[in-house]
């Protein structure tokens, strides 16, 4: 092995020669343990030889067998050690004549012996098989505990306690070795906390038993003393457990409960930690590693941190002799009723909480120390500090300080403060050291693949973390493609790479299919017109990019250009499904592979379609990254984890994207939930991350940190020409790397690039990610029943239309809404309550013949279903009442709603006023201008109006903003969507509550005419009134159904809203339906004289009726609508809403084509007083076309 000097005299270790270290497979026949080929292990890890399911099953087996044994061993050692406190309560001090500080010395002598024995114990564990060594030690200490039962005086107790410390000193070092040998870095903390929790858990169990023994002994005076019985019990238990330890404990090479393939899998799992596996039996003691450990600042940070943590721990044992350990209550009655009893108990509890950090500190050894001898030395130092601290702590509570023990309280408080200071200093050291190593690696001239690969090989050669320059003690960025311009985007991508590639993927696991490439990933956002999960920053970036002409084709060429200029960082396309769907999924994936894109994050893809999309990705060797939010159910989480083939994106908080000042306190709990199902797939955390502090905080618990909105902010604020440099500086600062370094500071999450053949020579060898699921597994996931995947109770689709194309954070609330609605839709009590408000809302609404209008047409009879007579002036109150009643049953206290014409806003505000609920209405600025009267009415009713300035400033934009607001406040808020649009179950809910219109119409027509109508006509925007009146007739083929859309300025122009007449299938606002979109999948701007029809989508059921030909759809222009408005006003004395005027015009034309005697019903959905001013404004331009001039 050779060393070289590189950059700032950093020592760089080159690749070991083959003749120095033989890495071929050897077989130790005597031990029956095979050495693994180091190169083979490293390459197998990088190529994902084993599937996610195989690794998941292996981890479960290790947890199932090893963790309980570790828990019991750790807990038994602790229980035996502290049992002296319970024994003191039951007569130990009196029977053995302990006086003064002699009892305290029984604790101190234990730790003194523990201290002096720790070095030899670590040496023995390095040289001998771990399992038998620990088992023998455990057996011996069990015998010693038995002997304590027969001690007669202080001297005998001191000797036995000393020997007990000697025998027990192998346990904790062995537990650290087991943690490092079987688990990856990111698993260390959780597993250590689990086995460390045994200190309390086992103590609770044994304290109960000890207390039982003591109370039983007190019933038989003159028999075996209670404290002696406790020793006999604990000693016998320890001896029995030693035999279990013999079988279970050992390194992966040594244990008998793993087969050869599983042992290989364990090595492959943890190779990326770069702390070494036991793939080869390199157990020789290396004195050079002892010297390295002595010189390493980590050793001293660890020593003093453990020391100051352990001094209060010693206090715990001392106080336990006064207040029993089981919550201080089991033997409380036995204590003398003197003052300060409860104060002592409170202090006891405080010290317990103060020592929770202990097991987490210990995990720093397996996570950050490499080299087996160095690990042993460092572990020795750890336990020397542990023993010294506990010894000191035991002497802090001195008898002469009773009863207040002021000096002891001061010492404990000081130690906790020093603990914080040491951790801050240690963290600063790691930041500095990582930067130094980056410079050294850069000076070596290695490619990223070579550097990562070499780091793993070095670790397997038993190098220390100091020697292995590639080791890192422990950034994925987001940029909207084409922002701030197409040309600048390429330079910014290169700046992200140069600065550390933005959002960090620092992982303890290798995901690459080939050699390790690099650890950072760039998320390239595909702009979309309606990004409902994104906050204002990324919304603006989307809008500007689209105005610059960015399409998917442009995005692909942008990446191709960046690759040709040296971009080697993996690139993921992140966006919404509709542009991908419109482009063609298979075509998109093939072209992405050609230009060098590595995978996809699709924000709003349902799991049942994600399975298919994931299949397509796998066929092209691309990654699919699922998203998981705090609201994701365990059932859904399990499926999403199965779909992951490189990492999982964790949405850190509810709401939309955007930089924030703080991170969610519940994030560790969310990550713990995900890890139950993720089988070690790395976890990347995003949403709200914006600072170096955020990055470092997340680095402790996650494998990757995602930064998006902050980067967009930096780009927007930087002058043209320096945006790339500003981004580079920010990424370098937040990641802690030098700006010129192209190497990651992280330790493992990697993805290899795929680039076109003609770029290979420029960028070096790059490879496509392999899938982590084998073909059989992939097909099994793909074949799962979609309804089971979605957990839907009610049918989520109408044919191919419908579904839930929403951000993950909305799914759980939609599920809750579906469950709630499924309970009330057939609940007689609910509908009785609903009908109890009929007098208030004006139901049933009237139906009558429009005589003069019928005479005017000269054809079929025209009947009017007068929804305009309802309270608030439209059909909207039917749905508003039903949804607010539903929200109340769901426990919601606040209501938000969208509105276009303002009628739904007024209706919702009215019902909220009735029930005393807070109400916020979202309305586009253009609609608010056109419907100023309704805006004022909403405010009069006590609701707030949020005017939306984004986009076209109409209903579509109001829906976008309302959805974003709902995402951020799901716990308390219900979104009363105004039309039959949106994700399931909204279309079903709206149609159900609005069906009162059609049901009444049926009954009323039968009463008036004795038969069903021949045709029913309704205007169609989103579709609420049309769905309400059409649905009850949908199974009556004798009734023709006609929907009239808004043709605006004409279907031959771009200014219309005729979705069903001219639109195509797509996804908008969480639902697959007909939409108005361009050839790139971007939603088009719409126009109508009526604000309520000014929407580029339609309810999915109406789309289904179109394709099934159950409903005929036509379009009426602004001029035609004005004609209907005029005729209804002047012939029937009814001023209709402009929305209804479209249906009136369509019905008139239909009636003219039908013979007399036929019957047509128009759904007169609303009254027109809200539109009078708008009509007055439009008449000078449109009136002359129909001969209507009201100027005077």
Burial class (CB in 10 A: 0-12, 13-18, 19+), 351: buried
Residue 333 burial by Cβ neighbours in a 10 Å radius (0-12, 13-18, 19+)? exposed
Marked catalytic residue, from 523, 808, 898, 1101? 523
* Residues paired with residue 477 on neighbouring β-strands, in sequence order: 522, 707
Asked if 193 and 359 count as a contact pair (C-beta separation under 8 A), the reply is: yes
SS3 of residue 1044 by DSSP: strand
The structure tokens listed for 236 are 């016998």
Q: What is the DSSP letter of 870?
A: S
Token pair 């009196």 is at which residue?
A: 94
Tell me which H or E stretch contains 328. none
Report the alpha-carbon angle 594-599-600, nearest 5.
125
C-alpha of 620 from chain center: 26
**Greatest distance between any 2 Cα atoms in the chain:** 120
**Which tokens sit at 873?**
């002036």
Exactly one of 46, 534, 645, 1149 is catalytic; name it. 534
Q: Which helix (H) or strand (E) holds 985?
A: none
Which residues, including other chains, have CB under 8 Å from residue 395's CB and lie 6 or more apart? 101, 104, 108, 314
1016 in Cβ contact with 1001 (< 8 Å):
yes
Strand-by-strand arrangement of the 894-899 sheet: 944-948, 918-924, 894-899, 973-976
Q: Please indicate whether residue 783 is annotated as part of the active site.
A: no
Classified as helix, coil or strand, 692 is helix
What is the spatial distance between Cα 78 and Cα 84, in angstroms, rounded to a whole number? 11
Taking the CA atoms of 60, 63, 66 and 72 in sequence, report the sign of the dihedral they define: negative
Structure tokens at 927: 């609609």
Q: 10 Å Cβ neighbour count for 868?
A: 24
Q: Is 1028 exposed, middle or buried (0-12, 13-18, 19+ CB in 10 A)?
A: buried
Task: Retrieve residue 351's tokens.
Answer: 């010290």
Q: Which of 136, 151, 160, 141 is nearest to 237 (CA)?
A: 141
Distances (CA, A) of 744 to 7, 437, 703, 927, 1099: 17, 10, 13, 51, 48
Q: How far apart are the first and last CA of the chain?
A: 101
Contact 113, 161 (CB under 8 A): yes
What SS3 state is found at 839? helix
Which two structure tokens, joined as six digits, stand for 582? 């419109």
Question: Do the beta carbons of residue 392 and residue 314 sit within 8 Å?
Answer: yes
- Sort strands 3-6 and 10-13 into parallel, antiparallel or unpaired: antiparallel
Residue 730 CB-half CA count within 13 A: 26
Q: Which of 623, 622, 710, 703 is nearest to 661 (CA)?
A: 710
Bridge-based pairing state of the strands 648-651 and 861-866: unpaired
Active site residue 523: yes
d(CA 706, CA 709): 10
Residue of 280, 273, 686, 701 whose CA lies nearest to 510: 273
Nearest to 411 by CA among 480, 310, 282, 506: 310
For 1167, phi then psi, to 5°, come to -90, 160
User: Are the CB atoms for 590 and 620 separated by under 8 Å?
Assistant: yes
Across 399-420, b (16+ Cβ under 10 Å) vs e yields eeeeeebeebbebbeebbebbe
Residue 375 CB neighbours (<10 A): 26
- Could you give the residue numbers annotated as active site? 523, 534
């Amino acid at each position: 092995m050779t060393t070289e000097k590189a950059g700032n005299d950093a020592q760089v270790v080159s690749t070991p020669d083959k003749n120095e270290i033989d890495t071929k497979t050897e077989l130790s026949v005597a031990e029956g343990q095979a050495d693994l080929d180091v190169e083979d292990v490293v390459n197998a890890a990088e190529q994902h030889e084993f599937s996610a399911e195989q690794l998941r099953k292996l981890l479960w087996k290790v947890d199932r067998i090893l963790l309980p044994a570790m828990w019991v061993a750790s807990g038994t050692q602790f229980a035996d050690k502290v049992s002296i406190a319970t024994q003191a309560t039951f007569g130990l001090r009196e029977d053995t004549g302990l006086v003064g500080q002699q009892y305290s010395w029984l604790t101190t002598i234990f730790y003194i012996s523990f201290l002096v024995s720790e070095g030899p114990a670590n040496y023995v564990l390095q040289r001998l098989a771990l399992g038998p060594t620990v088992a023998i030690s455990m057996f011996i200490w069990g015998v010693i505990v038995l002997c304590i039962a027969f001690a007669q005086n202080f001297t005998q107790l001191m000797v036995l306690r000393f020997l007990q410390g000697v025998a027990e000193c192998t346990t904790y070092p062995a537990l650290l070795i087991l943690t490092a040998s079987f688990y990856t870095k990111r698993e260390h903390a959780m597993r250590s906390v689990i086995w460390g929790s045994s200190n309390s858990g086992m103590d609770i169990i044994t304290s109960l038993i000890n207390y039982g023994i003591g109370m039983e002994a007190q019933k038989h005076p003159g028999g075996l003393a209670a404290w002696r019985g406790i020793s006999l019990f604990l000693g016998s238990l320890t001896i029995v457990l030693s035999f279990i330890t013999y079988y279970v404990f050992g390194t992966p090479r040594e244990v008998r409960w793993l087969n050869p393939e599983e042992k290989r899998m364990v090595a492959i799992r943890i190779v990326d930690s770069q702390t070494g596996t036991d793939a080869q039996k390199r157990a020789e003691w290396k004195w050079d590693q002892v010297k390295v450990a002595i010189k390493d600042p980590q050793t001293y940070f660890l020593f003093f941190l453990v020391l100051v943590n352990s001094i209060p721990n010693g206090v715990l044992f001392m106080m336990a002799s006064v207040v029993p350990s089981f919550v201080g209550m089991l033997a409380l009655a036995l204590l003398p009723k003197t003052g300060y009893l409860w104060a002592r108990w409170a202090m006891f509890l405080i010290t317990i909480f103060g020592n929770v950090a202990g097991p987490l500190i210990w995990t720093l050894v397996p996570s950050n120390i490499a080299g087996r001898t160095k690990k042993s030395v460092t572990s020795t130092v750890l336990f020397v500090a542990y023993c010294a601290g506990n010894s000191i702590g035991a002497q802090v509570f001195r008898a002469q300080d009773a009863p207040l023990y002021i000096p002891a309280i001061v010492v404990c408080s000081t130690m906790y403060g020093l603990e914080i200071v040491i951790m801050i200093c240690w963290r600063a050291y790691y930041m500095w050291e990582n930067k130094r190593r980056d410079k050294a690696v850069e000076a070596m001239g290695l490619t990223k693949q070579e550097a990562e690969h070499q780091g793993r090989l070095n670790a397997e050669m038993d190098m220390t973390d100091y020697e292995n320059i590639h080791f890192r003690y422990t950034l994925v960025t987001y940029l909207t493609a084409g922002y701030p311009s197409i040309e600048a985007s390429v330079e910014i991508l290169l700046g992200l790479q140069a600065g550390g590639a933005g959002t960090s993927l620092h992982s303890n696991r290798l995901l690459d299919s080939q050699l390790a490439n690099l650890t950072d990933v760039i998320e390239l956002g595909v702009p979309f017109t309606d990004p409902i999960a994104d906050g204002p920053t990324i919304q603006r970036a989307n809008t500007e990019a689209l105005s610059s002409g960015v399409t998917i084709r442009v995005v692909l060429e942008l990446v191709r250009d960046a690759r040709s200029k040296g971009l080697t960082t993996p690139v993921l396309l992140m966006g919404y499904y509709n542009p991908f769907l419109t482009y063609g999924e298979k075509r998109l994936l093939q072209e992405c592979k050609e230009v060098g894109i590595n995978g996809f994050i699709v924000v709003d893809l349902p799991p049942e379609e994600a399975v298919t999309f994931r299949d397509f990705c796998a066929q092209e060797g691309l990654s699919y990254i699922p998203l998981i939010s705090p609201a994701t159910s365990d059932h859904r989480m399990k499926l999403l984890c199965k779909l992951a083939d490189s990492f999982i994106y964790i949405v850190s908080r509810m709401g939309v994207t955007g930089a924030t000042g703080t991170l969610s306190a519940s994030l560790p709990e969310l990550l713990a939930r995900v890890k139950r199902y993720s089988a070690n797939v790395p976890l990347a955390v995003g949403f709200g991350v914006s600072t170096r502090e955020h990055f470092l905080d997340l680095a402790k618990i996650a494998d990757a940190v995602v930064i998006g909105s902050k980067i967009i902010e930096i780009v927007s604020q930087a002058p043209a020409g320096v945006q790339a440099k500003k981004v580079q500086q920010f990424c370098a600062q937040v990641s802690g790397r030098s700006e010129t370094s192209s190497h990651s500071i992280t330790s493992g999450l990697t993805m290899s690039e795929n680039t076109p053949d003609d770029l290979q020579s420029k960028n070096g060898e790059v490879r496509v990610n392999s899938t982590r699921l084998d073909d059989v597994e992939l097909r099994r996931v793909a074949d799962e029943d979609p309804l089971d995947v979605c957990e839907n109770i009610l049918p989520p689709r109408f044919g191919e239309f419908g579904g839930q194309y929403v951000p993950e954070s909305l799914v759980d609330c939609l599920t809750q809404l579906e469950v709630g609605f499924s309970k009330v839709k057939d609940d007689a009590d609910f509908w009785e309550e609903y009908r109890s408000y009929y007098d208030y809302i004006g139901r049933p609404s009237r139906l009558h013949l429009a005589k003069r209008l019928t005479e005017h047409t000269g054809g079929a009879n025209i009947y009017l279903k007068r929804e305009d007579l309802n309270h608030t002036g439209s059909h909207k109150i039917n749905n508003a009442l039903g949804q607010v009643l539903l929200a109340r049953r769901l426990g919601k206290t606040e209501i938000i709603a969208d509105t276009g014409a303002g009628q739904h806003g007024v209706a919702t505000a009215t019902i909220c006023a009735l029930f005393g609920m807070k109400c916020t209405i979202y309305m586009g600025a253009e609609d608010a201008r056109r419907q100023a009267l309704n805006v004022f009415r909403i405010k009069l009713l006590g609701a707030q109006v949020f005017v939306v300035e984004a986009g076209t400033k109409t209903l579509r934009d109001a829906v976008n903003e309302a959805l974003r607001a709902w995402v951020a406040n799901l716990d308390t808020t219900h979104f009363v969507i105004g039309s039959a649009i949106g994700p399931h179950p909204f279309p079903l809910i709206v149609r159900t509550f609005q069906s009162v219109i059609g049901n009444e119409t049926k009954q009323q027509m039968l009463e008036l005419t004795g038969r069903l109508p021949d045709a029913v006509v309704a205007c169609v925007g989103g579709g609420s009134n049309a769905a309400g009146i059409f649905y009850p007739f949908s199974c009556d083929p004798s009734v023709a159904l006609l929907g009239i859309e808004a043709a605006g300025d004409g279907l031959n122009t771009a200014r219309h809203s005729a979705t069903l007449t001219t639109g195509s299938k797509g996804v908008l606002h969480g639902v697959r339906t007909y939409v108005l979109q361009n050839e790139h999948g971007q939603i088009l701007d719409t126009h109508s004289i009526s604000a309520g029809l000014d929407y580029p989508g339609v309810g999915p059921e109406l789309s289904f009726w179109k394709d099934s030909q159950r409903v005929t759809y036509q379009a009426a222009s602004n001029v035609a609508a004005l004609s209907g408005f005029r005729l209804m006003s002047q012939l029937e004395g009814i001023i209709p809403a402009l929305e209804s005027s479209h249906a009136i015009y369509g019905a008139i034309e239909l009636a003219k084509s039908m013979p007399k005697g036929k019957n047509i019903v128009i759904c007169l959905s609303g009254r027109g007083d809200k539109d009078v001013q708008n009509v007055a404004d439009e008449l000078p331009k449109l009136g002359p076309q129909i001969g209507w001039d009201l100027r005077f």
